[in-house]
Structure 1
Amino acid sequence: MKNIVLILVLVAVQACAQKTYYGDLEPLGKFPSKLEEVSGIEVSPAGAIWVIQDSGNEDEIFQVDMKAKLVQSLKIDHAKNQDWEDLALDNEGNLYIGDFGNNANKRKDLTIYKVPRSELDKKKPNAKKIAFHYPEQKNFPPEKDSLYFDTEGFFHLDGHLYIFTKNRTRPYSGKTLIYRVPDTEGKYAAESLGSLFLCGDQDHCSVTGADISPDGKTIALLSYGLVFLLTDFELSDFSKASIKTIDLNCQTQIESICFLDDKTLLIADEQNRYGGRSLYQFKLD
C-alpha cells in the first residue's frame, strides 16, 4: 500500500512539474499586523494599490504603498464581508470585490460588489451589488467529486467579470471552472465558459487569485506556490490556451496576485507558520 501511495504522489508531482519554470519572489515590504489575511490585491490606473481581507474581517478595503505600508482604509457601505476573496479593476478605475468564498460549497448568496471610481474618494464608499449563481450547481453542497464552486479568483475585461473557481473535489480532478457575469448591478446566472486542467496536485493546483495583464494578452492564475500564465486564449473558449507554469519556490500561503504592468506581478501572502504577511514583486520573462 505504501508503494502505491508513493507512486500516486510521484505521478501528481510529475504532472504538476511538466513544463515548469522556476523563479524567486522579490520582497517589497511587510504588511502591518492588522493585515494578516490579505486575500485580494489590485493596482488602479493611477497606481493606487488596494487590498482586502477574507472572512472574519471588517467590510473594509485598504490602500497600501509599494512597501506594503498602510495609506488609508475605507469602510464599504451597503456591503458585507462574508468571504471577500479577490479584487478586480476596470479601465475606468471602478473596483470590484469578490464576495464569493465558498469553502463548503453551500452558499446561495454569491456576490460581487462594484465600487465606482467616484466613490473611492469618500470615507465610506457606496457599493452596487452584482448577485450571481452557478447554474450547474444543483445541490448545496454537492457530492465530494463535484466540489467546484468555491471561488478565489477573477478579473475584469470588456464589460464582464471572468471567474475561475477553486477546486475542492475528492478525488482531486485538477480542473478550474470558468464563468463570466456582466459588470453591472443585477442578478445573473453565470455563463459557463468551460474548464481548464491546471495540474493534478491538490495541494498546489487550486486557484487562489487571478488577474489579466493591462494589454489583455496574459492571464495569471495563482495557486499555492505556483503561477499559471495563460496566453493565446479566446474569451469564449479557454481550452486552446497555452499554459506556462512557474514555481515560486515558497512555503507561505500565497493568496493574491495582480499585474503591476505587462511584465510585472505583485503577489501577497497571508501569515502562517512559515512567515508571510508580505508584498512581493515578480518579473516575467
Structure 2
Amino acid sequence: MKIKTTLTLFASIFIACQNGNPKVIANLPSSLPEISAIEKTTNSDLFWVIQDAGNNNHIYGLDEKGSIKADIIVENANNRDWEDLTSDKKGNLYIGDFGNNNKDKTTFSILKITNPPANIKSTKAEFIRFSLPKDVKPKDFEAFFLHNDYFYVFSKESKKFRTLKIPNRIGNHEAELISEFNLKGKNNKITSAAMSQDSKRMYLLNHDKVWEISDFENDHFFEGKVINIPFDHSTKKEGIFEINNTLYITDEFKKNEGGNLYELSLD
C-alpha cells in the first residue's frame, strides 16, 4: 500500500506562536464531567456534546451558558468509547466510536445522527463501520473530522501518528492509511480535531496546545504549514470545533480542574 509518509520535519513548515489564552465562556454541567467532544451543526444554535467510555449513549445540546437544552438517547447504539464529533453541511451529526485505550480492537464505528432537533427524546443512528488496513496495528483513536465527504481519523500517539481515510457512506469499509507524521516537540497526543468552515485550515488539539495546519492541497495535510499555539494552562482538553475564525474547546472535569467551555479567537 502506498502512503504519503512524512517522517521528518522538513516537508512541513513549523512555526511557534505566542501562547494562546482560551477564555472561559461557560461552566459545563456537573452531570457531564467527561465531555469528550463538541460540535455545532448548520441547523442548530446548540453546542452538541457527548461523553466517552463508561458513560451513557446520549447526545446533549447545550446553550451558550452551558445549560442542557437537549438530551437525546441514541436507541440502537452503545457507548463503547465515543471520542469525537463532526458534522456535514446538511446538519447531520457524526459520532466517532473509535476509542481503543487497550489497543485490542480492529473494527470501529462512526454513527450518523440525521439532523438532530432539540425537541426529541430519542433517535436511531446509521452506521459507517471501518476496519484497519492489514498492515496497521490496533491504535487508540480520539480525533476526526469530515472533509470532502471523507472522514479523517487520527491516532493518539506520543510521537508518530497515523491518519486514516474512510468514505462517508453507510456500510462497512477498510480504512486507507494516507499518512504518518511526527509533530515537533513533546506532549503531542491528539485528543480532538476540526476542519475550518472554509476547509482551508485544520486543527489538532492536545491538553496544552492546538496545532493549526494550513496551505495544504487536497488531503496532503502535513505538507502544509504547521503552527503550534501553546495554551497558558494544561487541562484534559478533549473537544474542539471552529466557527468564524474562533475555536471552541471543552475539557473534562478532573481533580477540581476543567469542566469548562472555552473560546479562543484566531484573529
The answer to whether the superposition gives a TM-score over 0.5 is: yes
The secondary structure found in structure 1 opposite 2:213 is strand
Q: Which residue does the alignment assign to 2:30?
A: 33
Q: Does 1:266 align with 2:256?
A: no
- The runs of 5 or more residues in structure 1 that have no matched partner are 1-16, 141-148
How far apart are 1:222 and its partner, in Å? 0.2
Larger helix proportion, structure 1 or 2?
A: 1
How far apart are 1:66 and its partner, in Å? 1.3
Match of 1:104 among 96, 102, 114: 102
Q: Which amino acid aligns with 1:54?
A: D
C-alpha separation in 1, matches of 2:136 and 2:235: 35
Considering Cα pairs closer than 8 Å and 6+ residues apart, tell me whether 1 or 2 has the greater RCO.
2
Q: Which residue does the alignment assign to 2:232?
A: 249
Q: Which residue does the alignment assign to 2:40?
A: 43
C-alpha separation in 1, matches of 2:18 and 2:202: 16
Q: Is the 8 A contact 2:93 2:116 kept in 1?
A: no
How far apart are 1:121 and its partner, in Å? 5.4
Larger strand proportion, structure 1 or 2?
A: 2
C-alpha separation in 2, matches of 1:180 and 1:138: 13
C-alpha separation in 1, matches of 2:21 and 2:34: 22
Q: Is the 8 A contact 2:27 2:259 kept in 1?
A: yes
Q: Is the 8 A contact 2:61 2:118 kept in 1?
A: no
Q: Which runs of 4+ in 1 moved over 3 A?
A: 118-122, 136-140
Q: Does 1:281 align with 2:263?
A: yes
C-alpha separation in 1, matches of 2:82 and 2:135: 21
Match of 1:185 among 160, 170, 194: 170
- The runs of 5 or more residues in structure 2 that have no matched partner are 1-13
Q: Please show how residues 103-122 of structure 1 align to structure 2 within 5 Å.
A: 103-117=101-115, 122=120
How far apart are 1:152 and its partner, in Å? 0.7
The secondary structure found in structure 2 opposite 1:239 is helix
Identity, % of aligned pairs?
33
Q: Is the 8 A contact 1:195 1:239 kept in 2?
A: no
Change (3 A) 1:188 1:251: same
How far apart are 1:78 and its partner, in Å? 1.3
Q: How many residues align?
A: 253
Match of 1:234 among 214, 217, 236: 217
Structure 1 length normalisation: TM-score? 0.84
Q: Is the 8 A contact 2:69 2:118 kept in 1?
A: no
RMSD: 1.8
C-alpha separation in 2, matches of 1:158 and 1:138: 24
Change (3 A) 1:266 1:239: closer
Q: Is the 8 A contact 1:101 1:150 kept in 2?
A: yes
How far apart are 1:253 and its partner, in Å? 0.8
